[in-house]
Chain A
Amino acid sequence: MARFIAKRVALGLVTLVLLSMLVFFMANVLPGNVARRVLGPFASPTAVAQLNHQLGTDKPLITQYLNQMKGYLQGDMGKSVSTRQPISDVLWPALGHSIKLAVLAFLIVVPLSILGGVIAALNEGSTRDRVITVGGLSATAVPDFVWAVLLLIVFSLGLGIFPSTAAWPDGSGVLTQIRYLLLPAFCLVFVLFGYIARMARAGTIEALDADYTRTAVIKGLPQRKVLWRHVLRNSLLPTIAVIATQVGYLMGGLVVIELIFNYQGIGQMIFRAATQKDFPALEAAVLVVGVVFLLSTLVADVLYSILNPRVRLGSADQ
């Protein structure tokens, strides 16, 4: 296990280096220059040259890239070229915001969709099953931003129960924060429910058919015990993998949701950095998302092996 993790971490580092290069050079290939973006089209060329020099964006690309990497190694993410703030002042709170939203969405969607999947599996072929599978799939097929607009119109503008933004006022307590986050979280719940419920349903059906389940039933175990001990434990394996892959989407992929709800998460930060040609901020944010993504898949793999000892994780151990 230790070797497996070490190898995965090493591979992850290589991936991150490649990612950083990709982001840096691709972003710089785009036309226009940084100071021009900051000062606007009507600023004089002298002013633009002056600012580019001040920002160091007139240096060769490779020097800029190496300087940035050197900063990262020293734990310094550098300053945003547009707001001139230290990037870490923005990035960590943004990450925190994204995590809060993701956690809330998961807390709602994971039990709900697993329950849905299991109920559907237990009633395979019945109306209940169809309602859950078809309903879930339809909800998933609708893009998150459509859900956002729909929920806003109904619950915020129409009924006035929820605020139209996810940005809670300064100094709000946990409950208020949750109230502000519920609408965006439900957009994600709708999008994710279909996926997860389908996986849970398939896994459950498979586990229900398995020999060990039949044995347990024949052995005379009560149905609840069979479900908990034998069916669920086995059926959840693929579900966990699906959930883990969604972490990347939740951390950084929610650009539109975060914009609609004016939420200062990492998706909005990436959007802003990209439109403002704020490359240092863009690079840092993308790398952090990359780290989160790598970590979540690693955790999923480890969890998988713990839940299912048959998986040896193991080419690394051989």
Chain B
Amino acid sequence: MSRDQTSRRVDAIRAKRSELENHLIDEYSAGRLSRREFIRRGGVIGMSAPLVGFLAAACGTGSKSGGGSTSSNGGAASGNAVEAGGKEVAVKPGGTLKLGMSPGPSTEIDPIKVADEGGLGVMSQSGEFLAWSDNKLNLDPRLAESWKPNKDGSVWTFKIRQGVKFHDGTPLTAADVASSINALSDPKNGSNALSTFAGVLSKGSATAVDPTTVRFELDSPNGNFPYLLSSDNYNALIVPKDFNGKWEKTFPGTGPWKMQKYTPNSGVSYVKNTDYWDKGRIPKLDAQQVKFYPKEQAQILGLQSGDVDVLVHFSPTGGKALLNDPNITVIQLRSSVHREIHMRNDKKPFDDKRVRQALALAVDRQALVSGLFAGKADVGNDSPFAPVFPSTDKSVAQRKQDLEKAKALMQQAGVSNASATIDTWDGFELPDLAQLLQNYGQQIGLKLSPNVTPAGTYYGDAVFGKSPWLDSVMGITDYGHRGVPNLFLNAQLTSKGVWNAAHFKNPTYDGLVKDYVQSLDLQSQQAAAAKIQNLLLDETPNIYAYFYYFLTGTKKNVGNVEVTAMGHYDITKAGFTTGA
């Protein structure tokens, strides 16, 4: 195709596109977006893959750097570690893959309520979402064929894929999708997704317009809405409209794996679904068996001794032995998993922001990353904007340890011999972190004493006034991965945030977050992000010292295991390598 022909075709396409899509194309043509980011954003606002591909080639400027947001996944791999999403290798068809999961589903698996990684991992083998958020945060259409926002992103229309069948043979329709999502936004069901949908989607806002179309009317415009219906949302699994809550009986779903046997607290086995709608994703393996380990150490031994072939997820702290094991491949994935170190902005000694800044400056983040995580973490910059998020403005200066400046700030604040208790609970590396914070505090004359309790005690009733987590002067809270920072920005830090343990109340911040959430394109998201990042660095309501990696371990003879930092795993292409 000649240059003229191409440009005529682009014009023809653009004439039929929405304002939002044209804006995205403009940004890309102007070189403000990388090719990869253009493809990702195009997917989010519902442009088809071939179309985005054509436009990416036709409108590209050759700019590689784009708006500063490229790799979501560029951490340097070392030792036996490989980055997730590597090249596909040849595998033998057939066989049974044995996987270990720790701790496995912690309670009854119910898509409406599920809140734990184990439950999610088990669920998403036989069940599917409207879209799959892959490990580079691209949205891959699954049960939805395509989607489109209206002009301002307040109404989204999803086309439901035809020819998809649930495992019992019933065809999937728009009614199944509408009822699945409406069940989540109805407060009476007490869904775990209520916090995700707060201010976005209310009861009954999904309507099956016809058998293949579902329309979502949002409470307010949201540029990232498709993520909330994707595999990024624990609960957005599509179940049959007559679903009765007894999910564990049959694992009703449309996915590539059919449940064969499920024993709570013990394990689950699946066989491949030969009737799966996407012929390219019918599993190469015949079956998979998942074993649940109540303790992480047992699963580490399980992989090393060959009782299982894959560990879906292990922690850098618990699995140090695997990081240098020559028989194991470690797949690493950047994530937004973090610890929020909150300081009560309304209580002494942290009511003076200089004291908060001083403590943040006393923390040696690099030492935490190498000491606690053997380097398998990104350094945090005191905001929930993890390096993994494309919207994070990476040009904002990184806060580093500076004891002189910290001491000077303490002096300016006129604080000496101040003390505080650090509340946290006895899981992960939290007690170690509390101990280290105590040391950092000591160096600037702040006496911090850790108070480590069981998780139940720390979280209490999880509402203000009845929870050490939300009431303590200082505390450390563990947060899992999210594909977008919206939930962290809202719940942890806005004046009305339900998890605002720092009691941070700042109208400017609240306004910036609103701008951020409503931004429909990356350019304006990054602009809002930069303002939020700078404001949080200045105010330092919380310390965010690191975001650690999601690690998966496999035996050397296993290939093509895909994971996401949410805890989903996809082994449809996986198998035993031909060399072994």
Residues of A within 8 A of B (CB): 30-33, 36-48, 50-51, 82-85, 90, 152, 156-157, 160, 163-165, 167, 170, 259-262, 264, 268, 271-272, 276-277
Query: How far, in angstroms, from A238 to B538 measured CA to CA in the complex?
Result: 73
B108 on interface, CB distance cutoff 8 Å: yes
Closest B residue to A162 using CB positions: B305
Across the interface, do A32 and B192 meet the contact criterion of CB distance under 8 Å? Answer: no
Across the interface, do A82 and B305 meet the contact criterion of CB distance under 8 Å? Answer: no
Contact partner, B304, options A44, A50, A157, Cβ 8 Å: A157
Across the interface, do B265 and A37 meet the contact criterion of CB distance under 8 Å? Answer: no
Q: Flag the segment in B143-151, B452-460, B560-568 that touches A.
A: B452-460
Query: How far, in angstroms, from A60 to B499 measured CA to CA in the complex?
Result: 29
Across the interface, do A33 and B461 meet the contact criterion of CB distance under 8 Å? Answer: yes
Contact partner, A50, options B190, B297, B306, Cβ 8 Å: B190
Could you say which of A40, A276, A277 has the most chain B C-beta atoms within 10 Å of its C-beta? A40
Across the interface, do A268 and B115 meet the contact criterion of CB distance under 8 Å? Answer: no
* Residues of B contacting A43 in the complex (Cβ-Cβ under 8 angstroms): 115, 190, 192, 195, 462
Across the interface, do B192 and A259 meet the contact criterion of CB distance under 8 Å? Answer: no
Across the interface, do B108 and A82 meet the contact criterion of CB distance under 8 Å? Answer: yes
Chain A proximity of B485: nearest CB distance (Å): 15
Across the interface, do A164 and B307 meet the contact criterion of CB distance under 8 Å? Answer: yes
Closest A residue to B109 using CB positions: A83
Across the interface, do A40 and B116 meet the contact criterion of CB distance under 8 Å? Answer: yes
Across the interface, do B462 and A50 meet the contact criterion of CB distance under 8 Å? Answer: no
Closest B residue to A261 using CB positions: B298
Across the interface, do B298 and A165 meet the contact criterion of CB distance under 8 Å? Answer: yes
* Residues of A contacting B306 in the complex (Cβ-Cβ under 8 angstroms): 160
Known A36-B461, A46-B194; further 12 A-B contacts with Cβ < 8 A: A32-B455, A38-B113, A44-B194, A45-B462, A46-B187, A47-B190, A48-B462, A83-B264, A164-B304, A261-B298, A264-B266, A276-B106
Across the interface, do B294 and A259 meet the contact criterion of CB distance under 8 Å? Answer: yes
Across the interface, do B462 and A31 meet the contact criterion of CB distance under 8 Å? Answer: no
B295 on interface, CB distance cutoff 8 Å: yes
Binary CB contact string for chain B from 287 to 301 against chain A (1 if under 8 A, 0 otherwise):
000010111011101
Chain A proximity of B566: nearest CB distance (Å): 14
* Residues of B contacting A261 in the complex (Cβ-Cβ under 8 angstroms): 298
B463 on interface, CB distance cutoff 8 Å: yes
Across the interface, do B195 and A32 meet the contact criterion of CB distance under 8 Å? Answer: no
Across the interface, do A271 and B294 meet the contact criterion of CB distance under 8 Å? Answer: yes
Across the interface, do A167 and B192 meet the contact criterion of CB distance under 8 Å? Answer: no
Closest A residue to B246 using CB positions: A84
Closest 9 CB pairs of A and B: A32-B456, A47-B190, A164-B305, A50-B190, A41-B459, A40-B115, A84-B108, A83-B264, A164-B301
Query: How far, in angstroms, from A51 to B112 measured CA to CA in the complex?
Result: 12
Across the interface, do B301 and A152 meet the contact criterion of CB distance under 8 Å? Answer: yes
Knowing A30-B456, A264-B265, A272-B294, the reply to whether A157 touches B194 (Cβ < 8 A) is: no
Number of interface residues of B (CB under 8 A): 45
Chain B, 451-488, CB within 8 A of any chain A CB: 454-457, 459-463, 469
* Residues of A contacting B189 in the complex (Cβ-Cβ under 8 angstroms): 50
Could you say which of B116, B261, B264 has the most chain A C-beta atoms within 10 Å of its C-beta? B264
* Residues of A contacting B461 in the complex (Cβ-Cβ under 8 angstroms): 32-33, 36, 45, 48
Across the interface, do A262 and B115 meet the contact criterion of CB distance under 8 Å? Answer: no
Chain B proximity of A280: nearest CB distance (Å): 14
B107 on interface, CB distance cutoff 8 Å: yes
Across the interface, do B195 and A156 meet the contact criterion of CB distance under 8 Å? Answer: no
* Residues of B contacting A30 in the complex (Cβ-Cβ under 8 angstroms): 454, 456
Knowing A47-B113, A85-B264, the reply to whether A32 touches B457 (Cβ < 8 A) is: yes
Query: How far, in angstroms, from A46 to B265 measured CA to CA in the complex?
Result: 27
B302 on interface, CB distance cutoff 8 Å: yes
Across the interface, do A156 and B264 meet the contact criterion of CB distance under 8 Å? Answer: no
Binary CB contact string for chain B from 103 to 138 against chain A (1 if under 8 A, 0 otherwise):
000111000010110000000000000000000000
Contact partner, B188, options A31, A32, A50, Cβ 8 Å: A50
Chain A proximity of B299: nearest CB distance (Å): 8
Knowing A90-B265, A165-B298, A167-B291, the reply to whether A39 touches B192 (Cβ < 8 A) is: yes
Could you say which of A42, A260, A271 has the most chain B C-beta atoms within 10 Å of its C-beta? A42
Query: How far, in angstroms, from A47 to B114 measured CA to CA in the complex?
Result: 12
Across the interface, do A156 and B456 meet the contact criterion of CB distance under 8 Å? Answer: no
B191 on interface, CB distance cutoff 8 Å: yes
Knowing A40-B115, A82-B106, A82-B108, the reply to whether A157 touches B192 (Cβ < 8 A) is: no
Across the interface, do B294 and A262 meet the contact criterion of CB distance under 8 Å? Answer: yes
Across the interface, do A157 and B462 meet the contact criterion of CB distance under 8 Å? Answer: no
Across the interface, do A260 and B116 meet the contact criterion of CB distance under 8 Å? Answer: no
Chain B proximity of A273: nearest CB distance (Å): 10
Across the interface, do A262 and B190 meet the contact criterion of CB distance under 8 Å? Answer: no
The 21 listed contacts between A and B (C-beta, < 8 Å) are A33-B461, A37-B456, A41-B462, A42-B195, A43-B115, A43-B190, A44-B498, A47-B192, A48-B461, A51-B113, A85-B264, A160-B305, A165-B307, A259-B294, A259-B298, A260-B295, A260-B297, A262-B291, A262-B298, A264-B265, A264-B266
Across the interface, do B460 and A31 meet the contact criterion of CB distance under 8 Å? Answer: yes
Chain A proximity of B118: nearest CB distance (Å): 12
Closest A residue to B187 using CB positions: A46
Chain B, 492-506, CB within 8 A of any chain A CB: 498-499
Query: How far, in angstroms, from A31 to B458 measured CA to CA in the complex?
Result: 9
Across the interface, do B462 and A156 meet the contact criterion of CB distance under 8 Å? Answer: no
Contact partner, B456, options A31, A42, A271, Cβ 8 Å: A31
Binary CB contact string for chain B from 177 to 200 against chain A (1 if under 8 A, 0 otherwise):
000000000011111101100000
Closest A residue to B105 using CB positions: A83
Across the interface, do B265 and A272 meet the contact criterion of CB distance under 8 Å? Answer: yes
Across the interface, do B291 and A44 meet the contact criterion of CB distance under 8 Å? Answer: no
Across the interface, do A259 and B113 meet the contact criterion of CB distance under 8 Å? Answer: no
